[in-house]
Structures are given as structure tokens and as C-alpha cells.
Chains A and B, each alone.
Chain A
Amino acid sequence: MKLLRLSRKLSVVALAVAVGACDEGLTDLNQNPNAPTDVPADLILRNAVQSVANTALGVGMSWNHAGLWAQHVAQIQYAEEDRYQPRVDNIQAFWDALYVAPAKDFDVVASKSRAANRPLQEGVGLVMKSWTFGVMTDLWGDIPYTEALQGDASGNFTPKYSTQQEVYNGLFTDLRRADQLLAPGGATGFGAADLIYNGDGTRWRRFANSLRLRNAMHLTKVDAAKARSEFEAAIANPVLSSNADNAVLRYTGAAPNQNPFFVNVLSRDDHRISKTMVDMLRNLNDPRLPVYAQPAQSNGQYVGYGNGLPNNSMLLADASKIGSAFLAANAPAYFMTAAEVFFLRAEAAQRGWNAGGGTAAQHYAAGIRAAMEMYGISSSAIDAYLAQPSVQYDPARGFQQIATQKWIALYLQGYEAWTEWRRTGFPQIAPGPAARGPVPRRLPYPGLEVSLNKANLDAAIARQGDTGLAGRVWWDRP
């Protein structure tokens, strides 16, 4: 009897637990209360624009790599990069920070917008994706592109590397499509979530075509015919034509929306303006010198710091810091400016291409004017500057003048300044005395690709040859 009661008790308990074990509630409990599984495209755009600016226009790129190698700035201590010994972690960080967040995010913005049948927004996504991939291919040459970013869609976690030519063709296609998508103009609907143009589709279209101009011009050495045809196709459409058109992220100045240069100098003091830049500005009597540089602490003069100096060569107090306008919390970050577009058109005209009207000299002067107006230089000072024989456009040395003025105008937009120096060779830049090699012409591939995508990486290296700092990307010809 007792045993019977006992097993009855047992069954009751077993039943109670059994019911618990099969509880549907178990699955419900695993709904994540902390983060969303989907968000609208505008919230993604708002983040991606900031993250790509911080990576491609921030301290790492403009002060410690590309901008250093373009000799806009110099490192005054822990100067490994200025001696052409970049730290492997940083190369990896650029790669990851460009692919995972902005490239993928802009791709998602475009695809979500396409799915929702919002062509203007798709256009915005394509422009920013193209801008991002343009930076990447100019840094690394062949990169995963056509098969990239498809881990979720196709399960491809080892995308093959596209040749740089394929990447450029893809960028041209996307930018042409962006132009078509954005052609109706008007409001994109992104509104304030669009930190660059505040939802102005008309300006996005100008940016799309201007970016196509830039990419086309990069190819002058490797495929001049393609360069010309893309340029002329793009210039038939509206492009950036005044500083009001500039593609710029205007930081609010309130944390966390602060310029990365500002954030850096809060806790560090590792950089000065380069001697190369100061000498150039001084030689041309450039009124931007007091904007680009601060007076040296010790003597009040504008003194640049040499790139790649041995330790202990110069007192820090004797060299000029970077201009305070660039170090402000709300200093803007430029993706592309009208000044650059004028210089592109000047070069096109000089080459005898259709530059959308105007002469090389006109575009050259307009470029200088736009670049100076960005920093509030008075029109009389600009006129005086332009009137100097050393500045006045001289077709005989037009390429050099255009490239030089563009290099000055691109101050602290390090990646494009370095790219154009590699293409044009102007201005003349020499390695510092402590440099361990020639001026870098590309970034090596990051270390983790060796572990994670080896076969494709090996193929890309095999077809490109030297992929170390001294190697050249496809468009970079001696």
C-alpha cells in the first residue's frame, strides 16, 4: 500500500517537472530584450557615415599613415609610421573597420532601400559604398569586392579578391546607377539622419558624379582612354560646384560627435605640421599658413617638423602644431570638396578632355579660390595669391601646379592626397633620414587574411607582385 502511495507521489512530481521541461516559455525566454533584430535604413546611415569618417578621415589615416606619407604632418614621437614601419595591428584595424561597419552598412542601406522601392535612398547608399570601396582599393589594390559582404546572403566567408580594375569598373557602374537613381532630385526622405546633405537628393547626385570624376582621373596612367570616357560621361551630369556642395560631416562638437583630431589631442601630443607643407606654403606666400599651422611654442614662428627624423633631432617646442581650426571639437571632416572637383576639371582640360566647359586655368583658379574660401581667406588675399607668378597658371607646368594646389587643398584628407601624390609625383616628397625605405606606395594586406582567406589572398598577391609598402597598385605606374 505504502509503495503504491509512494509511486503515486513520484508520478505527481514527475508530471510537474515534465510539464516544466516542455514549457513553451523556454523558447520565449530567449527573445533578446537588449538589441533589435531589424532597424530602418536611416538609423544605419546615421551611424555608418560617422564610422567611415572616423576611420578614413581620422587620426589613424590622416595623421599616422596616408597623411604622414603625403607629408602633411609629421610624427614627433613614437614615429614608427613616419619611418615607414607601420604597426601590423593598425593595418588590420583599417581593413576591419572599413569592411565590417561602413561598407556592409552602406550596402545594407542600398539593399533595404531597393527592397522598399526608395530609389533616392538607394542612390545615397551606393554613393557612400562607392566612396568607401574607392578608399579601400586605393590603399590595397586588389580587394574582395564582387563577392564581398555576402556572409549572410550567400554564406560566402572567403570572397575572392577582385582585381583593382574590376573594382574600378564596379565603382563606375554603381556611380552611374546612383546618378540615375538620384536624377529626380528633391528630398531623399532621410532628413536629419543624412549627416552629409540633410536629405538633399540633388546634392547627393552631384557628389555621385564628382566621385566618378575622381575615380576616372585615378586611371590616367593605366588606362587613359577609360579615364577619359568615364570622366566625360560623368561631367555631363551635375557635379560639386561650390563649397555649399561639399560632402562634409560637420561634427557638432558635443561628445560623442566630435572631430577625431580634437579627441586625439585631448590626451596625446604626437604630431606637428610637416616641414614639407610649411615650406610649400611659405614659398608660395600662402595665406593658409596661419590656418594650417600654429606658431611654434618657443619662438612664435611657423616651423614644420621634418618627416622621419632620428630621435632627438628637434625640440618639440620649436615646431608648429597643426592649426587650431582643425583641432576644434566641431572641425568638419570632408569626404569630397568642390575645390577638388575644380582641380579634376583643370587637369581634364589640360589633358584636352571635355571638362564640362571652362579652361584649365579657370578651373585651377576656381579650385584655389574654393579651397581658400573654405578657411575664410579674404577674396583680396586670394586675388593677391593668384596674381603671383609662382601661382599663376602656366600650362607648361600645369600638371605640377594643379597637383600641388590639390595637395595643399587636401590638407588632412590624407588618403586622397597620398593617392594623388602616388599618381602625379607632385609635390616632391622624400623619405626622412631615419626612414627604413622609400615612401610607401600602398598598404600591405592585414595579417588575419592570411589565416582566414588564404587561398584568395595568395592569388591576389601572386598576380600583383610586391604587396609590401613599396609595391604599386594597378593604376600606379612608374
Chain B
Amino acid sequence: MKKLLVLTTACLVLGTGEVWAQNRTVSGQVTSSDGRPLAGVIVAVKGTNVRAVTDANGRYTIEVPATGQQLVFSGQSVASREAAISGNTVNVTLASQAVALEGLVVTALGITQREKTIGTSVQSVRGEELTRAPEANFVSALSGKVAGVSVTNTSTQGGSSRIVIRGAASISGNNQPLFVVDGVPVDNSAPRLNGFTGTGKTQGAVDYGNAAADINPNDIESISVLKGPNAAALYGARAANGAIIITTKSGRNARGLGITANSNVTFETPLVLPSYQNQYGQGYGGEFDYVNGRGGGRNDGVDESWGPPCDGRPIRQFFSEGQPVPFVCYEDNVSSFFETGRTITNSVALSASSDRVNGRLSVTDVRTDGMYPGMELGRLTTAFNGGLRLTDRLSADAAVQYVRNEGLNRPGVGYQGTNPMQQFVWYGRTVDTKLLRNHRNQDGSQFNWNYNYHNNPYWLALENRNEDDRDRVIGNISLNYNLTDWLTANVRSGTDVYSEFRQRGYTQGLVGVPYAVQGGLHEQDRYHQETNTSFLLSANRNLTSDFSLSANVGGNRRFSVDRDSYRGTNRLTVDRLYNIGNSAITPTLSDSTLEKQINSLYGQAQFGFRNYLFVELTGRNDWSSTLPQGNNSYFYPSVSGSFVFSDAFPSLLSGILSFGKIRAGWARVGNDADPYQLASTYITGTAWSGAPAYSYPNRLANAELKPEETTSIEAGTELRFLEDRLGLDLTVYQSQTVNQILPVQVSTTSGFNERVLNAGQISNRGMELAATVIPVRLSNGFEWEMRANYARNKNKVDELYGDLQTLVLGSYWGLNVEARRGEPYGVLFGNSFKRDAAGNVVVGANGLPIWGPRQVLGKADPDWTAGLTNTIRYGGLDVSVLVDAKQGGSVFSVTNMFGAYAGIIPETVEGRCGGPNLPPCSTNGLLINGVTESGQPNTVRVNPQDYWQYLFQLHEPFVYDASFVKLREVRLGYTVPGRFTNRLGVSGLSLAVVGRNLALWTDMPHIDPETSFDASNVQGLEFGQLPSTRSFGINVSVTP
């Protein structure tokens, strides 16, 4: 019924229109202040949705309805302006402006709205901001650029980035925003790696990146970030976490035939590697003597560095063929393993437009040679975007991009043998990495420094095979029909489809790799498709001279299917023959299909009063296939308003204030379940000689699930001062998510691990501030602009289920990441030191600290994030520097925990004692700063090896403040002036030196605090992080 009501209302509203009126044709030319024709400027009849675009000569023609009074001109990098329609020719000059402070933004459903009419927080990022200092993953390139958007990158090259807007709202579900490209929702899934070896499909734990990273930054015209459910109420449930609306470049802006070529090359080196001690070598208790590397000699199977001093004393070592040779430490034995990476990006874009046709074709190729030996990544994107004006009323647009992604030799990540950093956390300080480069013995077997636990890192990198590729098409077609001058109908169908192949092949003879016992092969075929088909009717008109209305009514059908097929074996008959037919055992097979459909109807209406007061209402109803019949329909409304008080009371516009607006919004968004949550299913067990076996379900399903519900309110203000040289945008918000569809962990004594419930409540509140300041703008063209953003979010798990205090999201080495009642989502919960009332660590009679209770040791999310971009332009020069920061938030660093256990980090040097080669512990050992149980200062010295190894799984000392400041982007660019380029025979040429992640300031020892295992909800953990990249390079852009 509700849907009919929406439609009827829409019909009534639309039905109150007036009689048809006569159109007239207006044309003219748009030029820049220096007299150049401006192409691609949008010309709109104010109060309608009639639009035209200027051609290469800056000329336009537009059909103006009789009611039309004003034309609005807006475009990239120019100040918008309005002009009264007087006569049939309107020529305007637009001032160039770096920041389009008053512009049009793309909001939900691709509706372009004037910024000032919007009652919710939307922040735009221009494409050029993403490519200023090139980063292949555009999600990562958003770091520091949008208030309230927190990006966390796994440090792996080509790895995934997690993006969360305004904090996590869902306890167990997805907390990342919806990505939409030209109106088509696109997949952003990323492998869930679990920190360890992975299971089944993820065995080998390779981070293949997040799927939205396929979108080529060079093709992005602009991004609108819709931050809360308010802004996204029209995109449906998935946008409850906000939405990233991407508009790709089209040919509309082309000046006749436009050709742009862009090339850049950057070089990558590790930003952070642990510091190592270089005083003591491999061994145990001060002793080491190599015989066979697996326990045959004295501690030669030990991979730790508690050995003798590396003072050059003669000791038999792994390479010395039984001869004692000088025992020395190698300072750079980890860093020298990594190579200088190189990324080359080449792109060419062709575009053209006429009054009937426009198009843009681009090809971009990105090739990376990784820092990890043998690693290569490649991405080829071909994109076409075209528009046809078929008749005066009918136009058609299409956009399609084909993306080919290839990966070779991506390293494993997490705590497992194919991650090189796992071994480097244990790597003997006396191991000379150069000698391992030759990684084969005469007989072809592996030559290594230790045969108990590790593989030669070069063997891992160069002898195994790890390949993946993904072919993806994202496209849409749409038809636009202007029914009247104020009413447009649009039909759109778009799809995102990809197929992906992932293969991990392992040679025989690996040590400690359970998924490659005697060789191994793991292959996965993935297929994803999501198709959305929608219609939209848009009305846009002035009802009276005071009242205006814009309204949209539409419907959508979304169907998605994900198929995943895996085959794997941990034994191969013939070494290095990577075909599943070569499995020495019955291969493991698995197969899954997930299908989902959601039908929706929605409507939006915005009422305007005198162009300064706007009220917007939205409503949407979804019918989801994943909820029980009869309970699968849910409606969600929103209301928001915007009041431009500087327009309402022009007297406020003194010399100081130049624009002022306040806004507020309320929204509720529903959310459905994942497919197949309503019935419990048996779990495939371990087949016996191929005969099937099953285990009773361990997740108790719920046949009566209800949709989740997020309610949010936000309010904000936009103020601009001093002729727009200072702009402020402030938002405060609060949201609550209830009825969460939650697999609640239950005591396993019930026979189940978890049961699915509607339960729990999470609240988020916070504020966001974006500011733009132009401290200096001189008449000679010199301009200094600062853009800053700051966001603070307070998140709290208000309730789980009944008396349930905690829900464990993930658990590693005894440390849990939990959703704990009364605490922020994602606290780190683990073992602490026992402390006395004064906070001193209590030490036992043996001189070692006593373990205290398990408690909250930190939280994954930061308190606040901030970014600051400084840009200076003068003549052809431009300099820009982005610094971003995260404050608060913690990381449990297992690199530090095991680095201490293994005695490789400098902290472990103090007090080395015991054994034949070292002084006695009673006098030279480590004295722990603490008090005895009776309150006396500790006087018992201990062997530091005992101390640091005793701290294993005592998590507190290894949970660190993860605050940091990063010099994220630096660019120094020069646009060659026309008088020189003309001589070179090109019309435009610019050069730039660019850098990313050039510096890091943090208290975090040994690792980059910006880290994660994967893009899942389990954050705040680090182990064996591959070094994050510092990149540096040059960029050349040519327009022939």
C-alpha cells in the first residue's frame, strides 16, 4: 500500500501543474576572464532541470521555457554565476576559481543538486585531487581529504583499504560505505584473511585488494561523499554507512577534439621496517653452533637471536660448510631483501563533443614492480563514456569500463609461512641475506639458514607461483526524456560484473606451510554480478514566484549473484605442475552461490521558498529476498532542511560574511540480512575416503528476522567570509542502530557457537569540520590555499543481547577484538600486568612481573582524524602538500611481541646474561622496574630472554597508541606556458614531481601504525605487516 501512496502523492503533486507554455532559444558564449572560450560549462535554466553544455568554442544553445528568468553557469575550476535572460543572446565571463565553493553536487540517485539546497552533509572531491600524487587505489587516495572519512590501508602493495564514514554502526555486518559509479553500485569486497593462514578459500592469506580499487583514478571526474544515512536514504540499506558517489569523466567538457596523455613513474621503498639490535646473533642462552639447522648442532634449529655476541668470534654457521667463521650481525639483512619498487602509469584520453554527441575514450595502464622480489601488479582500464542528444527531448548516455587486473607473486600476509615478514620477525641477526639469494643447493633442494621453521625468503618469493587476474566490466545505459520543460523521465540499467581467478601454487619441500605439505595448489574462481534497473521521474519547477518544487519518484530492482568455486590440495604428485589433476590426494572442493534481490520504490521532494529555505522529504520502501515472507518489506523516511540565512537577510552580508547557511536532517534507514540466514544448515565435514560427512549446524538461524534500523540526526552550518576566502562547514551528528541482525556468540555448551538474533544497539556521535582558507591571493596570480578537515567520532556499544557483555569479533594470541557493552566498538581485550594501588607493576619472587586480570587495553578506532592540504599556485607553478593525522586508537603489535620474544629488537639488548658466553644474570641481568607483593622495590635480576619470552601473550606491553601524522602527499608541479608549448607543437604540457607517504611521525615502535590484517571489522591488530610504501616520482601530462 505504501508504495501506491508514494506514487499517488507524486502524481497529485505533479498533476497540479500549469498549462503548456512556449519555449524560446537562447544562445551565447562563455569565456574566461582572460578571454579564452570555456568548454564544458554547464548552463542551466534556473528553477528547472533544463541544461546545456558549452562546446569547444564556449558556445551553447539552450531551450528556455517561458518561465525561465535566469541562467546558471557552472563548471570545473570556475566561479559559478547567474545571468538574467535578456534577449536571445547571453554571453558571460567566468572567473577562474580553484575551489568551486558554490557548486552543484551529485547526490543520491545521481540527482544533481545545488549545494545550498541540501540539508545534509555532502563533501566533494575533484578527480584531480586524487591523482595529484598518484595512488593506484583511489580509496587510499581519499586519506585525509574528507572530514569524517577514515581510511585504513593494509600496508601490502596492492592490498586492501578499509574506509569507514562516521564510525562503525553495525556490530557484525558491513561498515563500509556503498560505492556507486555513474549511478551503478559497484562491489567493494575484500578477502577476509583472519590474520592466520586463512581457511579454505583464503588459504595462503593473500591480500588481493578491495574490489573498488579497480576504478581508475584518472577517469574520475568527481566524488561526492554522502556521509550519513541522511544523505543516502535514497540508496537503500547499503548506504546506511554512507555512500561514495563517483562520476566519471565524460566528453561533455571537451573542447572539440581533446587529447590528453599522462605518464608518471614512481619508485617505492619501505616506509617503516623494524629497528633491529646488532649485538647478539642467532642462538639461545648465549650459545650457537651450526650443524644441520634443525637441532643437530647447539641451538642451530633455533631461529631466535639470544645467541653469542656477534663480535666476530669463530662459530660454525649455515653457509660455512662446517668451518668456524666470524660471527657477525648484519644490520640491513631485512631491508636488503626488499627491492625498490616501480610503478609506471600511462594514460591517454580522447574526448570530443558537439551539440548532439559527446564522448570520451580513455586507456590507462598501471604496472607495478613490487618491493617484494618477483611481485608484479598490472591494471589496464579502458573506459568509454558517451552521450547522444537524439532529439530535443530525448537523450541517451552510456558509460562502460573494462578493467583487467593482474597480480603475480603477491606475498602472503598474516601469521603464516608465506609472509616474508613472519620470518623476519624471527630472523637471526647473524643471517647474511645476500647468501640466501642463491636459494638452491646443487641437488635443487632449498638452501636455507634454518630448516626447522622457515623457508628461504627468496625460495618463497621466486619458486612458488601466485597469480590472479580479474576481468571486470562496469557499465550503464540510460535514456532521458524531457516530458515537459519541468518533467523528465529517466530509465537506467547498469551492471557490475567480474570474474576472477586466483591461484596459489607451492613447490614441494616447503617448511611449516600446512596448505602445501608436499607442494600445494589452491585455486578459486569468483564471479560477481549485480544489475540494477531503475526508472526515475524528475520534476523541477517554480510553483509560484516564491515556491519551487523539485521531486523525484522512482523504482529499482537490484539483483546480485556471487559464485565462488574453490579447489585445493596440499600435495602434488609432480612438483611445480599446477593443475588440480596433479593432486596426490583427493582435492578439496567447495562451491557456493549467493543470490539476492531487492525491489524498491522511492520518492523525494524538495520544496523551496524564495530560494533560501529548502525542505526535503524522502521515502523508500524495500522488499528484500533475504528476510522472511511477510516481514520482508520495510520503509524508511528522511527529512532535511536548509536555510540560507545570508540570502534571507542580505543585510547580514557585511564585508565579513559572504555566505551563511544552516541545515538539519533526520533519517531512518533499514537494513536486511545476508542471503540464507533464515534456516540453519549442516556443515560439510571431513569426507572419509571420499564418502560425505556432515556436522550439525553450529549457527542457529532465526526464521523471524526483522530488518535492522539506523536512525540518525545531523545539523550543520556552512559559513563563508571575506569574499569566500574563508569557508567553514561544520556538522554534528548522532546515530543509533538497533535490531541489529547479529550472530550472537553463545556458550558452546548449548550445542551452538552462535545464534542469529535481532539485538544490540550501537550509537555514534561526532562532529566534522571542513575549512578552506585562502590566506594569500595576489593580483599577480599568486595564491595560497589551505584546506583542512577534522572529524571526531564517539562510538559506543550500548547493548548487545540481554545481559551479554561482549561479543568477540576476532581473537589472536589470546587477545580479543570485542564489541563490549558500554565500550567503543572494537576494543582490544587481553592480559594485563598486575599492578598495586599506585599503579606499579607487581613482580614475583623470581623477578618477573605477575599477570593481572584480562581487561580492555585499547580500542581500534581513532578519537579524531584530520587532514591539511596546502596548495600554492603562481604562474605555472603549483605546490601542494597534504598532511594527515589520526589521534587515539590502539594497535596490538605482534611484530613487537615476537620481535621481543626472538630477541631481535633493540629493547632486548639490555642485561643479556647467562650461559658460557655471557656474564652471570645475578649481577648483570635485567632488573624489572616494579614492586614485590609486599610493596618493596624489586631487586631480583632476570635473564632478559626469560623476561621477554615470559611476556608472550601478556598483551598489555604490546598494545600501543597508534596515533600518527603522515606526510601523505607532496606535489611540485609546473605547467609550461603556452609560448613554449606552441614551439614544442603541443597545446599543453605540465610536469610534476610527486611523493606519497614521505614521512611518518609516531610513537609506535617498529611498525607503521596505519595497519590491519584485512578490510574486515576486526581492526587494531598487526602482525608481520609488509612494509608500507614510500613513493616518489615524476609525472608528465601532455595535451597535443
Contact = CB atoms under 8 A, between A and B. Distances in A.
Contacts of A87: 814, 953
Interface in A247-303: 252, 254-257, 263, 266-269, 297-298
A380 interface: no
B749 A148 contact: yes
Interface string A17-34: 110111101110111111
Interface stretch (A94-102, A165-173, A214-222, A366-374): A94-102
9 contacts: A17-B3, A17-B555, A18-B3, A21-B599, A26-B624, A29-B675, A30-B625, A47-B685, A99-B749
A225 interface: no
A447 interface: yes
Given A44-B695, A47-B694, A449 B747 contact: yes
Contacts of B808: 448, 451
B623 A21 contact: yes
**Interface range on chain A: under 10, 10 to 19, 20 to 34, or 35 or more?**
35 or more
A99 B751 contact: yes
Contacts of B747: 144, 157-159, 448-449, 452-453
A43 interface: yes
A100 B285 contact: no
Nearest to A20: B599
Contacts of B311: none
Interface string A169-195: 000000000000000000000001101
Contacts of B596: 29
B625 A257 contact: no
Given A26-B624, A108-B696, A312-B299, A150 B680 contact: no
3 cross-chain pairs, A with B, having the tightest CB-CB distances, nearest first: A47-B685, A316-B295, A151-B750
Nearest to B745: A452
A117 interface: no
Given A36-B681, A50-B688, A104-B751, 16 more contacts: A7-B11, A11-B11, A14-B7, A17-B3, A20-B557, A27-B632, A29-B625, A34-B592, A34-B681, A44-B682, A46-B685, A108-B696, A148-B750, A152-B752, A312-B287, A317-B297
A298 B752 contact: no
Interface string A40-55: 0001101110110000
A174 B1010 CA distance: 56
Nearest to B808: A448
Contact of B625 (A7, A27, A256): A27
Interface in A367-424: none
A17 B601 contact: yes
Contacts of B751: 99-100, 103-104, 107, 148-152
Nearest to A453: B747
A100 B3 contact: no
Nearest to B746: A157
B199 interface: no
Nearest to B946: A311
B682 A26 contact: no
A188 B17 CA distance: 81
A462 interface: no
A30 B696 contact: no
A150 B750 contact: yes
B681 A100 contact: no
Contacts of B805: 451
Nearest to A1: B20
Contacts of B758: none
A269 B451 CA distance: 11
Interface stretch (B229-237, B253-261, B512-520, B787-795): B512-520
A23 B297 CA distance: 73
A26 B678 contact: no
Interface centre among A33, A35, A108 (most CB of B within 10 A): A35
Nearest to B518: A266
B535 interface: yes
B593 A33 contact: yes
A347 B272 CA distance: 66
A115 interface: no
B451 to A, nearest CB: 10
A51 B683 CA distance: 13
A286 B689 CA distance: 36
A416 to B, nearest CB: 23
A34 B687 CA distance: 17
B804 interface: yes
Chain B CB within 10 Å, residue with most, of A31, A95, A451 = A451
B111 interface: no
Contacts of A89: 811, 813-814
Contacts of B700: 151-152
Given A21-B601, A254-B689, A448 B695 contact: no
B435 interface: no
A269 B294 CA distance: 9
A159 B682 contact: no
Interface string B460-499: 0000000000000000000000011001010000000000
A224 interface: no
Contacts of A312: 284-285, 287, 299, 915
Nearest to A26: B625
B804 A37 contact: no
A44 B553 CA distance: 53
Nearest to B17: A3
A192 B686 contact: no
Given A17-B599, A21-B3, A27-B629, A37 B680 contact: yes
A463 interface: no
A40 to B, nearest CB: 9
Residue of A14, A88, A447 ringed by the most chain B CB atoms within 10 A: A14
A268 B512 contact: yes
Contacts of B591: 34
Nearest to A28: B625
A99 B750 CA distance: 8
Contact of B517 (A31, A35, A100, A266): A266
Given A22-B623, A47-B694, A151 B755 contact: yes
A7 B294 CA distance: 82
B688 A252 contact: yes
A166 to B, nearest CB: 14
Given A10-B11, A108-B696, A26 B599 contact: yes
B14 interface: yes
A29 B599 contact: no
Name which of A2, A26, A150 has the most chain B CB atoms within 10 A of its CB.
Answer: A26
A348 B487 CA distance: 96
Interface in B1-23: 3-4, 7, 10-11, 14-15, 17, 20
Nearest to A7: B11
Contacts of A452: 745-747, 804
Contact of A311 (B284, B487, B678, B686): B284
Contacts of A9: 489
A34 B676 contact: yes
B585 interface: yes
A29 B627 CA distance: 11
A43 B694 CA distance: 6
Contacts of B557: 17, 20
B686 A100 contact: no
B543 to A, nearest CB: 15
Interface string B608-641: 0000000000000101111011001100000000
Contacts of B11: 7, 10-11
A319 to B, nearest CB: 9
Contacts of B626: 30
A96 B808 CA distance: 14
A36 B3 contact: no
Interface string B894-914: 000000000000000000000
A95 B594 CA distance: 32
A47 B10 CA distance: 59
A100 B597 contact: no
A158 B801 CA distance: 13
Contacts of B595: 29, 33
Contacts of B684: 35
A50 B685 contact: yes
